Structure 1
């Protein structure tokens, strides 16, 4: 994609001892001292990033990491667009990293639709993030799944985390006894009046919007497309 902007003082603290050192280096007035400090920090980042990649099982071939100050450029080969985004996410979640340039990473498979990265704030929940990007409150498991193992508990996300929000068309829902299109729309969208969206997306199943039978497999479509990825 290009150059990702991850400037934040509240990131998940990956990178071990390099985290406070990177923030201190940014404040150095002497350019030579700053460059020397970041040379050592880059060594620490490199080791930590490789460790995190091994921990997550992400398949990256020929990974090379170049850092100039708080700017990191990546080189290597991955199989999918999602793997490329996960690599960017791992690097961007290292405290002290301001930008990540992934233009040197090659994807061997289909590129797919890009995700967006969201920086968690104190008031966020996964449901609110899902509502913001998809319009679907109950799409939060999709975001949790896309961010394993960072998100181990869907009820515990921390301010400053950079999470991937993958592009989707919608989610699936199996109707149960007592459901109405209005009740489903309220649970999914927070608005029972949006039952018409569900009815329209499932016209081959729903003949009468007043009749919902248990066991129907419905598609709950997103209400809006993802915004363009935020680049530096």
Structure 2
């Protein structure tokens, strides 16, 4: 999918920011792999490397949605400013459309975001479901967080 930008100082605190040594970068990468695996995503041969504020992700995801969610878990981590997605997706019978990404700003709600992308605020559960298990409640979003906005098709 390519290189995705995130807000470096927003997100979950998986590891300390400003990692510089090779050992610290390897530790950060290990923690990111653990964070992804803890969420139960089906990714074969998951590998993550951290170089300064860029995380590079490899592996084979079971779906396009899983691929996008892995990118978001890694990118929505404090200290990560960009994710270089080098994952592949298992070939499926029906190709999944690529979702759009939305960076939450102050005052955003899932309803407001749904209104923007779908023309209907009541479609917010689509966005909530598309971002599970990273979101535990529709009201728990924060500025700087990046969300998946799937196609309604």
TM-score (norm 2): 0.88
Alpha carbons of structure 1 residues 9 and 142: separation in structure 2 relative to 1, 3 Å: same
Q: Which runs of 4+ in 1 moved over 4 A?
A: none
Q: Give the superposed CA RMSD.
A: 1.7
Post-superposition offset of 1:108: 0.9
CA contact (8 A) 1:38 1:69 kept: no
Per-residue deviation, residues 171-210 of structure 1 (Å, max 9, x unmatched): xxxxxxxxxxxxxxxxxxxxxxxxxxxxxxxxxxxxxxxx
Partner of 1:79: 62
Verify: 1:11 aligned to 2:10, yes or no.
yes
More helix by share: 1
CA contact (8 A) 1:143 1:165 kept: yes
Give 5+ residue unaligned stretches, structure 1: 26-36, 170-232
TM-score (norm 1): 0.60
Partner of 1:188: none
Give 5+ residue unaligned stretches, structure 2: none
Alpha carbons of structure 1 residues 40 and 162: separation in structure 2 relative to 1, 3 Å: farther
| CA distance in structure 2 between the aligned counterparts of 1:63 and 1:95, rounded to whole angstroms | 20
CA contact (8 A) 2:26 2:50 kept: no
Verify: 1:108 aligned to 2:94, yes or no.
no
